[in-house]
Amino acid sequence: MRSQAWRAEALIAEGDRDPADVVLRRTQALWKHLGRPGAAAGLPEADGQLAVLADATGSIPVDQVEARYALYAQLCRLRRQIAFCNPLLDFDQLLFIQRHLAIPHCYRDFYGDHCCDQYYGITQQPGGGLRVLDDPFGETPEARNLLEASRVVNGRLAGRKLEGGSFLSPDLSFDGRRVAFAYVECEGPAEHFHHTEHERGHWDQGRAYHLFTVDADGSELRMLTDGGFNDFDPCFLPGGRLAFITERRGGYLRCGRVCPTYTLFDMALDGGDIRCLSYHETNEWHPSVTHDGMIVWTRWDYIDRHGTTAHQPWLTTPDGCNPRPVHGNYSFRRQRADMELDVRAIPDSRRLVATGAPHHGQAFGSLVIVDPRARDDDAMGPVRRLTPRTPFPENEGAAKVAAYGEAWPLSEDFFLCVYSPEDVPALQPAPPHGIYLIDS
CB atoms within 10 A of CB 58: 9
Label residue 203 exposed, middle or buried (CB < 10 Å: 0-12, 13-18, 19+).
buried
8 A C-beta contact, residue 366 and residue 406? no
Are residue 117 and residue 78 in the same domain, yes or no?
no
Are residue 249 and residue 309 in the same domain, yes or no?
no
Domain that holds residue 73: 2-83
Are residue 351 and residue 383 in the same domain, yes or no?
yes
pLDDT tens, position by position, 50-98: 999 999 999 999 999 999 999 999 999 999 999 999 999 999 999 999 9
Alpha carbon distances (Å) from 256 to 192, 252, 279, 406: 16, 10, 21, 29
8 A C-beta contact, residue 24 and residue 15? no
Tell me whether residue 66 is in a domain: yes
Label each residue of 325-372 as H, E or C: ECCCCCCCCCCCCCEEEEEEECCCCCCEEEEEECCCCCCCEEEEEECC
Tell me whether residue 398 is in a domain: yes
Mean pLDDT score, 307-336: 88
Distance CA 28, CA 231 (A): 46
Of 49, 83, 117, the residue at which a domain comes to its end is: 83
pLDDT score recorded for residue 398: 60
pLDDT tens, position by position, 380-432: 899 999 999 999 988 886 656 779 999 999 999 999 999 998 767 777 677 78
Of 29, 60, 83, the residue at which a domain comes to its end is: 83
pLDDT score recorded for residue 112: 47
Tell me whether residue 221 is in a domain: yes
Tell me whether residue 304 is in a domain: yes
pLDDT score recorded for residue 184: 98
Confidence of residue 270 (pLDDT cuts 50, 70, 90): very high
Are residue 295 and residue 409 in the same domain, yes or no?
yes
Pick 393 or 176 by higher pLDDT.
176
> How many domains would you assign to the chain?
3
Are residue 79 and residue 99 in the same domain, yes or no?
no
Alpha carbon distances (Å) from 116 to 87, 102, 208, 304: 38, 11, 14, 20
Q: Which of 323, 296, 324, 299 is nearest to 309 (CA)?
A: 299
Share of the chain above pLDDT 70, in %: 95
Tell me whether residue 88 is in a domain: no
Share of the chain above pLDDT 90, in %: 73
Tell me whether residue 404 is in a domain: yes
Are residue 158 and residue 305 in the same domain, yes or no?
no
Distance CA 275, CA 258 (A): 24
8 A C-beta contact, residue 115 and residue 362? yes
Are residue 183 and residue 75 in the same domain, yes or no?
no
Tell me whether residue 90 is in a domain: no
User: pLDDT averaged over the chain?
Assistant: 91
Element (H, E) at 59: helix 46-59
Tell me whether residue 89 is in a domain: no
Are residue 154 and residue 272 in the same domain, yes or no?
yes
Grouping H, G, I as helix, E, B as strand and the rest as coil, residue 61 is coil
Q: What is the DSSP letter of 182?
A: E
Of 53, 83, 113, the residue at which a domain comes to its end is: 83
pLDDT tens, position by position, 9-48: 999 999 999 999 999 999 999 999 987 655 555 677 888 9
Are residue 323 and residue 352 in the same domain, yes or no?
yes
Are residue 136 and residue 253 in the same domain, yes or no?
yes
Give CA 260 to chain center in angstroms.
Answer: 23
Are residue 180 and residue 35 in the same domain, yes or no?
no
8 A C-beta contact, residue 50 and residue 32? no
Label residue 110 exposed, middle or buried (CB < 10 Å: 0-12, 13-18, 19+).
exposed
Are residue 295 and residue 260 in the same domain, yes or no?
no
Distance CA 112, CA 154 (A): 38
Task: Tell me, yes or no, if the pTM score tops 0.95.
Answer: no
pLDDT score recorded for residue 109: 45
pLDDT tens, position by position, 102-126: 986 544 443 348 888 899 999 999 9
